[in-house]
Structure 1
């Protein structure tokens, strides 16, 4: 493994990381603090450049460990915007609302992008302070990297988001309607006058603009809100199951390795966890595959079954989901979805067989499982391949 080769004149082994997203930066922070010489190669002109200051969520229901405790265990400081979320308003396809809440946060809002107080800028500051170096607008070949953190290669889900300023009070709204966001959901988050509206889908990806516009109109039916200083952007969700996330001594982390929760498409916790696991593997000379499987393997597999239930139930199923979510503690309820059960374990191989993609795909992985989807195209994004 190249990560074990000590470079003369350096304080520790030399590590090259392709990509400076949350997973790559987490690995860089841990390794640089341990005395490794770390070089990050980022293809864009800044960290977080594909985001627009939008609010995203670090989910806090799939594990017993609170996300803040996880960050502390990883040695990461919270030098970025992070705010717990304990309450929300869910809407079904008839716009019937249900208040939901939890004692402990069921998620933490963070912001993504190149701006101050974003997760990306905060992690970058920590990496540089630890001694890591970053090279912007520079790409290296996968075989030249020790850790590959280059983000999603192909969309298994697609979101269009808009950030804007508004006079709305703090708001956490989620609309579950397959007619407006097939396979996904639409959402409006407002914190301190800054808003993120988004539409996330897992089917009919080429029509994301159509669904985004329809969902926005649907939210305006609930309450009219002014939109000022708006910006829009697209983001992908990348998901796969694999026996190994290693290839010739290189580690795939974050969405480059298909690490994602398939139920709601929330992947930041997975990105941070796999970045930390890759660093720990190099530091302790232990198996990366063993570390990420212990941390994420069962939950990621179960999320395939959860994804099936989410889609199979349709709008009636989502209405039932919303009502049940409001009957107790939301974190406990969603945590139950993520816990393995005997019947989910039995259903998993059947679903994998039914959804298996035959032939090649665009995931940059060794043999793996990913879901079959038809090829489509998008007027702005170009071909969208399965």
Structure 2
């Protein structure tokens, strides 16, 4: 292994890995194929979830050496509309999530992580993509498959700050629609888990719906879209090459709140390589992330079978809870029965996208293609 640890991809996982490497006293070099960080995004709002552990997510990031220098607004409540149009408020005394922005603008998560990496001495090369890592390294190239997609609008607005969601297969098949407004900016989207080819139709329904329910006022609307992969791998290691973030499939299968998982996996991959112990990464991610992924995947299996009546019943039931963060924590909490159900039912048909191959130094294996061309 060389003195400089190579990292392919400058998303949250890759930059977190680079920061961890630098903090461990090693050199890190990040190669990103785009011309800057955050180019997949355009300032759209995303949620940094704060319910899977008792400790606040910002405190957890601080223990990993990640500073909360990005803009982050705590949200303590969400208004959720059931399929019959009934609004139900879910509230907590602690932040349910922190609203952050993604993109290459000042204040976004991506630009903040880039600056932290540069301040730590990390070298970042834009316009370069690593296809091979013969001496090992960390692969954080983002999702390679869309298990879910989001299609929406970014806009300016004079609306009051607020977070809204709508659960209905007529708006977002097996997913949810959402509207996030903060400090004069807004993001409205449909997050879909099937029927992707009709995303425009579903998105326009969402616009009409939120306009009717909360009086959406969009100025300068801009379209955006994206996808996510959440297939749990059997291993996220190929010799001295480690996979983190969505390159490994580390994403929340239930609702897609995967930023926290990306940062955690990136930091742990960086620490493991910096300490010369890549095998430790396998132990750490399986201990910290695998059980939560299995629980979320099991929850998704049941969620997809609820239907409109089931969504309404579930929302009515959970609206009676006093603290939304507490019941979300219970919902995501690992349990033996969730693990069993995951292996019996929930993992069926969910073929891991990442399948590392021995004696291969491709960041994403092209060996079969090269052999076919040689033949």
Does the pair score TM above 0.5? Answer: yes
183-192 vs 31-40, greater mean Cα deviation:
31-40
Aligned ranges for residues 215-234 of structure 1 at < 5 Å?
Answer: 215-234=206-225
- What is the aligned partner in structure 2 of residue 120 from structure 1? 110
Task: Give the structure 2 partner of residue 173 of structure 1.
Answer: 164
Say yes or no: does 1:192 pair with 2:183.
yes
Deviations 1:343-373 (A, max 9, x none): 323322221464344xxx8x34338xxxxxx
Give unmatched runs, 5+ long, in structure 2.
358-375
- Summarize deviations over 1:199-219 as a string: whole Å, max 9, x none: 100111122122111111111
Q: Which residue of 1 aligns with 2:368?
A: none
The aligned counterpart of 1:373 is none
Contact 2:41 2:102 in 1 (8 A): yes
Question: What corresponds to 2:86 in structure 1?
Answer: 96
Please list the CA deviations of residues 7-46 of structure 1 after superposition, one character each: whole Å capped at 9, or x if unmatched.
xxxxxx2011000000000011111223322111111111
Distance 1:37 1:356, change over 3 A: closer
CA distance in 2, matches of 1:273, 1:187: 26
Deviations 1:178-216 (A, max 9, x none): 121001101101011110111100111122122111111
Alignment of 1:8-23 (within 5 A): 13-23=3-13
1:182 aligns with 2:173: yes
Aligned-pair distance for 1:229? 2.0
For residue 69 of structure 2, give the secondary structure of its aligned residue in structure 1: coil
The DSSP-based 3-state class of the residue aligned with 1:251 is strand
What secondary structure sits across from 1:45 in the alignment?
A: coil
Cα deviation, residue 228, structure 1 = 1.3
Any conservation in 2 of the 1:18–1:142 contact (CA below 8 Å)? no
- Structure 1: which 5+ residue stretches go unaligned? 6-12, 368-386
Partners of 1:16 and 1:353 lie apart in 2 by 33
1:107 matches 2:97 = yes
Matched, 1:339 2:333: yes
2:293 to 286, 300, 305: 300
Candidates 307, 324, 346, aligned match of 1:330: 324
Tell whether the 8 Å contact from 2:38 to 2:110 is kept in structure 1 after alignment: yes
RMSD between superposed Cα atoms in Å: 1.6
Q: Partners of 1:39 and 1:30 in 2: how far apart? A: 12
Q: Does 1:259 align with 2:250?
A: yes
Deviations 1:142-185 (A, max 9, x none): 43560000000010000013211111111110001112100110
Matched position secondary structure for 1:41:
strand
Q: Tell me, in whole angstroms, the C-alpha distance in 2 between the residues paired with 1:289 and 1:246.
A: 7
**For 1:287-313, what per-residue CA distance to the aligned partner results, in whole angstroms no more than 9, with x for missing partners?**
111011111111111111100111111
Matched with 2:365 is none
Instruction: Determine whether 1:276 maps to 2:267.
Output: yes
